[in-house]
Structure 1
């Protein structure tokens, strides 16, 4: 059984790497323009065409920067003016580079203007990452106001634009009134407006930009299911009352003595499944929260823990 799981995981990882490798070779446009290929020629005119063509001007900023931010993720993928990346591949904080001026300080922003969807951005924007007072492009030495949060688009919401912006600060931002978000938690991130932030701290227009597209996949479903399963009883009660989203009692995993991974015995799994299934409504109020069946949840959890 252990050999079977190991071979399966190797095959899955190999398939994901091949898919990501193919995706890195091209870039894509968002609507209007989803699915149309672009060249990788990142001169000023091509940056302007892609940024305007994807609606980032005027949805997020008022002008197009003439510099491209170089963004590389630990998974091996890179951001390339609207290429589509998977939420799994962008789950960890990337490395960032841009051209700098000597002794200058910068602000880095990552924002999602398509919340809950591009057609209905009523909660836009989501602040995915915010760092101020960055000396040059040494992001780790800046002041983090919001820790990096990867992509997690809701089920059925289509492709989201995840926009990175760099602003050159006129001076150090010493006194600010921004809440500090030290974890990837969602709280405190909705309703962010990068224009208002830039105006408040006299940042002017951004000097560099890049963005990628992402949509819901099984990894997002796993994250949401994991979050629901690990809620405290008081949180679960509040969620049910306010959103009528079904939840279930946290299930303590069984540690495998052989592999150190996580497995569920047949009796435990069947008992858990009986409590899971009846709580899945036919027409949930928020379908993006009920986005993965129990078997698939266990499969992904095992893959991530092995």
Structure 2
């Protein structure tokens, strides 16, 4: 199994360095693939070329026999596919035996979204004139108003702000850069926090945290605000509208849905959200079609007869 394990280390380096995967993503891939290699070892497979499509299918059946969630099985088979694709790329094997293995389908689950009215009530309920309160209001407004991920808003630096030009420079998954428009309530809340809230928080840091010196959103000690703090803030804000398990990604989904309902072009939305694949947005078009059907049912005269 030495060859497999050595190739696994090289694949992890490839994901981290060439693909720009986060340490958390790399660790998740390693855990999944270590389980796969243990399965191969139990099957007596010792060489790359000994892995056939039937071998991977047997692994998939083994995962199913463990009564793992379909999403877990899908993730692990996807990891196996990527690993074998890398082996082919490095000329360590001739073919990818996992490429044609069927991945179990999951039931389509629409993302949870807030209504426009719920977003308004949640944000209007958040009134706190302290520096941390101005920060929290700005953070919520930007999360929703720009459709950012929690990790993206935490990583936002002062030199990523071009407010006079109406945009932010955001670094998403794989450190991919994109330009995101900002206007209206999000722009106003962010400008007020920068003028009246951030300077006070920055002074608490005493300038000792160089890594946080340029961060837009600071914690009470003047350091860079972390993802867990963002999760806690969103959860707290959700309680104002009786949404007790609100997640930052729900605000992102809500932004996308409301943009589509407002007539935004799908390709423009793809660029704003930073999705590499247009198919990722199909769930939002489904939501939009649901909205159209509801409007049709409400307004069409024959529907009432």
Q: Please, what TM-score do these two structures have when normalized by structure 1?
A: 0.23
The structure carrying a bigger helix percent of its residues is 2
The structure carrying a bigger strand percent of its residues is 1
Structure (1 or 2) with the larger CA radius of gyration = 2
